[in-house]
Amino acid sequence: MKHEVSRKKVRVEKGSVVACENDLYRVEHYLDMREVLGVSLKTGLPKKLDIASLRAPSSEPADFEPEEKDISLIATEEWEVVETRLHGIKPIIQGKSTEEIRERAESLGVSLTTLYRWYRGYQNHGGVAGLLPRKRGRRVGDRMIDIRADAVIKQVIDTFYLTLQRPSAQAVIRKVHLECSKRNIPLPSKNTIRNRLNAIDGRTKISARHSRQVARDTFDPAPGNFKAPYPLHTVQIDHTKMDVVLVSEDDRQPIGRPWVTFAIDIHSRMIHGYYLSLEAPSATSVAMCIANAVLPKDALLAEHDIDSNWDIWGFMDNVHVDNGADFRSEALRRACMLHDINIDYRPLGKTNYGGHIERMMGTVMAETHLIPGTTFSTVGEKGKYDPEAHATMTFAELEKWLLSFITKIYHKRVHHGIGMTPEEKFTEGILRGDGTGMPAKPENPQIVYLDFLPSFERTIQRNGVNIDGLNYYDGVLRPFIHAVDETSGKKKKFVFKRDPKNIAEVWFYHEHEKNYYRVPLADQSIEHLTLFELNELKRKAREKRGGRTGEREVLMAYDELHEHIEASREKTKKAKRQQARKSVARKQHEAILPKKSPRSEPVTGDEDDLWGDLSDIPDFDVE
């Protein structure tokens, strides 16, 4: 199984041209969140089109196609190019006259042709990914400028630019060049310095150059007044520890409380996405939640056997997340930027900033108090109730419960804050006459998912690749065994992606083909394994054997766990068989035994022998 790197977006607004099967269609009307009415450009005939099957028309010459590759291989200077181009075209993205575009090009110091090429790349690719340069770049972290110049830029920004004097960008450039000249350091380009300034977080910039109060007034919405003008304008993301203790699949013993990350669309109050995990929240939790939010969820519901719908998908404009260190990941920021998502960090404790999602999480937690094993919200509510003693639900069972609640109850009951159901509000905001129209969809959803997965760099050995003590192997790795990097002369490292909820496989990025390949565990008897389960297996292996744990110890522990599960299943089957035999025997007994009738004389010994031949008596299991 492989996936080609393509971050094209399919525009589904009315009037746009889309590809479906072997024809091109112009979108005429929205039928619902799953279908549109298109008119064939070839025949002129209308046809219902399934949105999930639509593709972007491929009509661009090679000169306009950016070099697509794994996000971790996009070099620092390439990100700088992207940010420069995005800054250049932002004022004209929504459309301008030729004269206005010409004026914009002159103000940037570039030709009209260059600016138009940037604009066309953005429009035809459907977003920021279309601004990537075609030439190959260096790895993340590499810089074309002298490391000493980079240190000077940072020093000037910290001590000169981020001050109440508020010097201009031009003044910063002069200051950097002056300091570099004094130290005989090669001068960095003006664009490099501007890109460093543009990359500074907006709140940090305003707080340092104006005041914290101005930053609060700018970025913190007033309590109860924050609204989003249309669907997917702003999505709030936050974590909470669920008020329920779970049990393991094998021995049904308590394993602790899970964490859930939610994304809520502020305009409609629909839950845009989620991520359930037994691991503590991190930037990975946010990334996986965003990926879940952006992508269609039909396959997810089918996987959990949920007979409902969850028709919210598409790229949000802005994401509000906490300002904690776990959320400030450069990989997360770049993945969001590549997909045109702006991350807005909020200070800790600012409940007015995240009030909508906190109320939603409170609603969900209140529902969990009906689940056996709930911890309730307070000690007073809990009383003498022992959550671990009453816990009955596994992780998979809780996830199905959560999906059912979201899709069958939360989205379909009236929300008092908006006067209708979240589902109705979202659909109205998309499909009504003055609505925003259908959001753009990723042409290759799998690439969006892979962009947000955690990355690993590993060498490839004869037995494949080793990550966290587990070996993964597939024939696609064979040509790269003991590969050497031509530049450094050291063993070459390759990019692998892994989903924490299924580490029984990884995704290998083939740099030459620009494809991702699925690579399973070398021991393919393990079909599914989560990162939490792996860590638990390692812990148990260490407790039992002591010392370091490798793949052999982990797999042995996994086999023991599997045997325990099978033994448990056999015990359950045996108990059910015994119960069934008892039921059959009881029915046979009732059928053979004659109905009682009034007797005037006592029963003699011979008359009481109702069974006759004892060989016909069925066996009873008496315990």
Q: pLDDT by residue (tens digit) across 427-439?
A: 999 988 666 788 8
Tell me the torsion sign for CA atoms 148, 150, 152, 158: negative
**Residue 259 in this model has a pLDDT that exceeds 70:** yes
Select the more confidently predicted residue: 596 or 324. 324
Please give the mean pLDDT across all residues of the chain. Answer: 81
**Domain 234-442: homologous superfamily in CATH:** Ribonuclease H-like superfamily/Ribonuclease H (3.30.420.10)
pTM of the predicted protein model: 0.73
Q: How confident is the model at residue 25 (pLDDT cuts 50, 70, 90)?
A: very high
Residue 605, pLDDT score: 42
Percentage helix, strand, coil, to 5, in the chain? 40, 15, 40
**What confidence score (pLDDT) does residue 263 get?**
95
Q: How far apart are CA 109 and CA 395, in angstroms?
A: 57
> Picking from 95-104, 390-399, 401-410, 445-454, which range would have the lowest pLDDT averaged per residue?
95-104
Q: Would you list the domain boundaries of the chain?
A: 1-59, 234-442, 460-529
Q: Count H helices, E strands: the chain?
A: 19, 20
The pLDDT, as a whole number, for residue 620 is 41
- At 598 the pLDDT is 45
pLDDT of residue 452: 94
User: Please, what's the largest Cα pairwise distance for the chain?
Assistant: 127
Structure token digits, residue 526: 């393990």
The per-residue pLDDT for 589 is 58
Which among 84-98, 183-197, 260-274, 541-555 has the top mean pLDDT?
260-274
CATH code, residues 1-59? 2.30.30
pLDDT tops 80 at residue 38: yes
Which pLDDT belongs to residue 190?
83
Cα–Cα distance between 86 and 96 in angstroms, integer?
16
C-alpha pair distances (Å), 249 with each of 386, 395, 525: 20, 8, 18
Please check the confidence at residue 609 and state whether its pLDDT lies above 50. no
What is the reported pLDDT for 622?
A: 41
Cα–Cα distances in angstroms (integers) from residue 352 to residues 128, 223, 326, in the given order: 31, 5, 21
Cβ 71 vs Cβ 338: under 8 Å: yes
Range of lowest pLDDT (110-114, 118-122, 211-215, 461-465) = 211-215
Intrachain domains 1-59 and 234-442 with the same fold:
no
CA distance 352 to 84: 34
Residue 607's pLDDT is 40
Pairing of strands 318-322, 234-241: parallel
Confidence band for 408, pLDDT divided at 50, 70 and 90 = very high
DSSP state of 563: H
- Per the listing, tokens 């053979």 go with 592
